[in-house]
Structure 1
């Protein structure tokens, strides 16, 4: 009986003093989906390409001058123009998706339809 109580106390202590929710490495923040949101390319400050693998989609992640994040498809014509504009200015960020993105584009009244003019 003493052995059973000792085993129970050991298991209880093990469960109480371990934190199963704590990760051992940095968590990657990813774009979960892409959007057709467009802004004037002069409002973009930098971008990086998110590769699929740890993240569910392949995307181009733009950051605006105001710190907002836009997740765009790499095949999107606007995204290609934005990347070319930033490449010409030397504002390409080669980092991967390991930092927390800023506010999302849902917080801005940006165009959502690909036939609209860029804001």
Structure 2
């Protein structure tokens, strides 16, 4: 009768090999889980940023109320008409030579005069620019 020694030898090594294989599988599983977690976090962040930007967009510069300040029309260099859709009130935002902004009721007489004055000056500037371009040619 022969007792097979290799069988005894293999059986004593097998538990360690199995432990090593299980350890390697666990490491692989943990790495996959970490990668999945990072990808999920990036996906959530990207989705959140796109939703926030799409819904709110850049914050507009809005007039929250009208000012009763009436400055000389010669100090006004530009204006922006503000609608109620994006901002809380309809208004005209006037820009002064010093860079200040004044919000006014678009239906007020003063605001209408200021708008006309700015439009007339812009038109004069455009005509002068066109004349200069014609003279250069």
Aligned Cα root-mean-square deviation (Å): 3.1
CA distance in 2, matches of 1:14, 1:65: 51
Assess, with a 3 A threshold, how the Cα gap between structure 1 residues 12 and 51 changes in structure 2: closer, same or farther: same
Alignment counterpart, residue 88 of structure 2, candidates 30, 38, 56: 56
TM-score of the two chains, using structure 2 as the length reference: 0.50
Q: For 1:78, which of 90, 110, 113 is the aligned residue?
A: 110
Larger radius of gyration: 2
Where 1:90 maps in the other structure, the secondary structure is helix
Structure number having the greater helix percentage: 2
C-alpha displacement of 1:21: 6.9
Q: For the residues of structure 2 that align with 1:86 and 1:11, how far apart are their CA atoms?
A: 58
Structure 1 segments unaligned to the other structure (5+ residues): 92-119
Partner of 1:26: 58
Question: Between Structure 1 and Structure 2, how many residues are aligned?
Answer: 89
Structure 2: gaps spanning 5 or more residues? 1-28, 124-137
